[in-house]
């Protein structure tokens, strides 16, 4: 319906333009007619020669253009079709002028043959003008539609990629936590109910909240703290975890699970693979929409660990590229510590 409305508007605008053209062009031929009569004659003329133009225009936009685009070349059959359609349109145009417009509307004597070279050229120019405009608009619409389809496919691809990247977070976390809960239950520890509740809340977040486009920074940090508390169950006093927060707006929106992968990385490639005392330091600050997120953990020098960690960091980097236009990620590493600093302009969030 919307498309039909645009076609109607197009032809109304063209009809008005063509009426003004004939009014200006043919008016001097009937000087005895008033301006109102001349305008009425021009309207009649524009209306009568409209069908031949409709014929050739809709042939091209519904078949000719599509055939040329699909086949990428002009075939003999298509060339004949175009010539036949153009010929019929020109003949109808000239018949209208020869038998009705000139003698009946303008009441002028017909002095030339129906298909002289001059008359054919006038018909070609008049019909060709509106046909060229219609074809141009058709090609423009096809190009816009093609761009939209391309963007939609790219958006779907990026959304699929982002979902895949998020599923890479914590593939081993649930297994470890359930083992910890089992061990606590065996000991009849008072911590068991709290641990089960934290796990339930964390899983609920990952199942439902993580599917949202954004959540508040307060919700993200709360989920982060639950994750840290659950991971710490596996460690005794050999692991020190320090979390510092300085948030000026707890309601600031942020993409879910954007902070978690680095914490998961610190536990997976730092604390869990350390034979000695280890530490994880986390600093989260937010000021006027600018997030500064730093996480540092102790490591033991091991080439294999570096290679594994690199995969996780590439995952994080790709998520940032997909979600935020303004961000920066810096990595500092030596034989005993590994540190990552991320700055994000949370207001530069770009919807996929």
Query: Chain centroid to CA 151: how far?
Result: 5
| 304 has a pLDDT exceeding 50 | no
Q: What is the pLDDT of residues 61-115, one digit of tens each?
A: 888 777 777 666 777 887 888 889 889 999 999 999 888 988 888 888 887 788 8
Using the 3D structure, point to which of 88, 120, 151 is the last residue of a domain.
151
Q: Is residue 162 part of a domain?
A: no
Question: Do 179 and 249 share a structural domain?
Answer: yes
Is the Cβ–Cβ distance between 75 and 43 less than 8 Å? no
Using the 3D structure, point to which of 151, 180, 197 is the last residue of a domain.
151
Question: Do 195 and 317 share a structural domain?
Answer: yes
Beta strands in the chain (DSSP E): 215-216, 239-247, 253-254, 278-287, 290-298, 327-333, 337-345
pTM for the model stands at: 0.55
Taking every pair of C-alpha atoms in the chain, what is the biggest distance, in angstroms? 114
Whole-number Å distance between alpha carbons of 230 and 221: 14
Question: Do 196 and 93 share a structural domain?
Answer: no
Whole-number Å distance between alpha carbons of 61 and 59: 6
How many beta carbons lie within 10 A of that of residue 337, not counting itself?
Answer: 14
How many beta carbons lie within 10 A of that of residue 278, not counting itself?
Answer: 21
**Confidence band (pLDDT; 50, 70, 90) for 265?**
confident
Q: In the block, which residue shows the tokens 């058709």?
A: 138
Using the 3D structure, point to which of 100, 118, 151 is the last residue of a domain.
151
Tell me 60's DSSP state.
I
Q: Is residue 163 part of a domain?
A: no
Q: Which residues contact 42 (CB under 8 A, 6 or more apart)?
A: 19, 20, 21, 22, 23, 26, 27
Half-sphere exposure of 349 (CA within 13 A, CB side): 15
How many beta carbons lie within 10 A of that of residue 55, not counting itself?
Answer: 17
Q: What is the pLDDT of residues 220-238, one digit of tens each?
A: 898 888 888 887 877 767 7
Structure tokens at 12: 């109304």
Supply the range of the domain harboring residue 132.
Answer: 2-151
Question: Do 258 and 115 share a structural domain?
Answer: no
Q: Is residue 161 part of a domain?
A: no
Question: Do 33 and 176 share a structural domain?
Answer: no
How many beta carbons lie within 10 A of that of residue 178, not counting itself?
Answer: 12
Q: In the block, which residue shows the tokens 């508007």?
A: 9
Closest CA to 323 of 278, 256, 260: 256
Question: Do 130 and 266 share a structural domain?
Answer: no
SS3 state of residue 73 = coil
SS3 state of residue 349 = strand
Please list the residues that pair with 279 across neighbouring strands.
Answer: 240
Is the Cβ–Cβ distance between 260 and 223 less than 8 Å? yes
Q: Is residue 158 part of a domain?
A: no
SS3 state of residue 325 = coil
Q: Give the count of domains, the chain.
A: 2
Q: What is the pLDDT of residues 173-185, one digit of tens each?
A: 666 677 777 777 8
What's residue 248's pLDDT?
92
Question: Do 223 and 127 share a structural domain?
Answer: no
Question: Do 109 and 79 share a structural domain?
Answer: yes
Is the Cβ–Cβ distance between 25 and 39 less than 8 Å? no
Q: Is residue 157 part of a domain?
A: no
Q: What is the pLDDT of residues 18-59, one digit of tens each?
A: 999 988 988 788 888 888 998 999 999 999 999 999 999 998
Question: Do 172 and 104 share a structural domain?
Answer: no
Question: Do 60 and 173 share a structural domain?
Answer: no
Q: Is residue 218 part of a domain?
A: yes
**CATH number of the CATH domain containing 290:** 3.30.565.10
Alpha-carbon torsion angle 156, 158, 162, 164, nearest 10: 70
Q: Is residue 304 part of a domain?
A: yes
Tell me 215's DSSP state.
E
Question: Do 181 and 272 share a structural domain?
Answer: yes
Q: Is residue 254 part of a domain?
A: yes
Question: Do 225 and 84 share a structural domain?
Answer: no
Please list the residues that pair with 108 across neighbouring strands.
Answer: none
């Amino acid at each position: 319906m919307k498309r039909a409305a645009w076609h109607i508007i197009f032809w109304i605008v063209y009809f008005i333009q063509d009426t003004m053209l004939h009014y200006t062009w043919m008016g001097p031929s009937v000087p005895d007619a008033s301006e109102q009569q001349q305008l009425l004659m021009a309207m009649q003329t524009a209306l009568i020669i409209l069908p031949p133009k409709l014929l050739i225009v809709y042939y091209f936009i519904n078949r000719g253009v599509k055939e040329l685009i699909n086949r990428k070349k002009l075939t003999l059959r298509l060339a004949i079709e175009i010539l036949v359609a153009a010929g019929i349109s020109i003949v109808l145009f000239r018949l209208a002028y020869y038998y009705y417009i000139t003698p009946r509307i303008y009441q002028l004597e017909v002095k030339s043959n129906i298909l002289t070279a001059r008359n054919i050229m006038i018909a070609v120019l008049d019909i060709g003008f509106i046909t060229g405009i219609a074809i141009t608009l058709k090609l423009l619409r096809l190009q816009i539609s093609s761009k939209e389809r391309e963007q939609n496919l790219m958006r779907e691809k990026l959304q699929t990629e982002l979902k895949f990247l998020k599923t890479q977070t914590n593939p081993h976390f649930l297994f470890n936590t359930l083992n910890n809960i089992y061990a606590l239950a065996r000991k009849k520890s008072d911590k068991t109910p709290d641990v089960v509740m934290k796990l339930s809340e964390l899983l609920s977040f990952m199942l439902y909240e993580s599917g949202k486009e954004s959540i508040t920074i307060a919700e993200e940090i709360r989920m982060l703290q639950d994750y840290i508390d659950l991971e710490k169950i596996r460690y005794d006093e050999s692991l020190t975890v320090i979390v510092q927060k300085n948030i000026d707006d707890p309601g600031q929106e942020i993409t879910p699970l954007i902070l978690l992968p680095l914490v998961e990385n610190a536990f997976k490639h730092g604390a869990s693979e350390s034979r000695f005392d280890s530490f994880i330091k986390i600093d989260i600050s937010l000021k006027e929409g600018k997030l500064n997120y730093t996480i540092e953990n102790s490591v033991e020098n091991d080439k294999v660990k570096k290679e594994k960690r690199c995969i996780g960091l590439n995952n994080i980097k790709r998520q940032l590229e997909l979600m935020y236009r303004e961000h920066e990620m810096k990595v500092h590493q030596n034989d005993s510590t590994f540190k990552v600093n991320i700055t994000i302009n949370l207001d530069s969030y770009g919807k996929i």
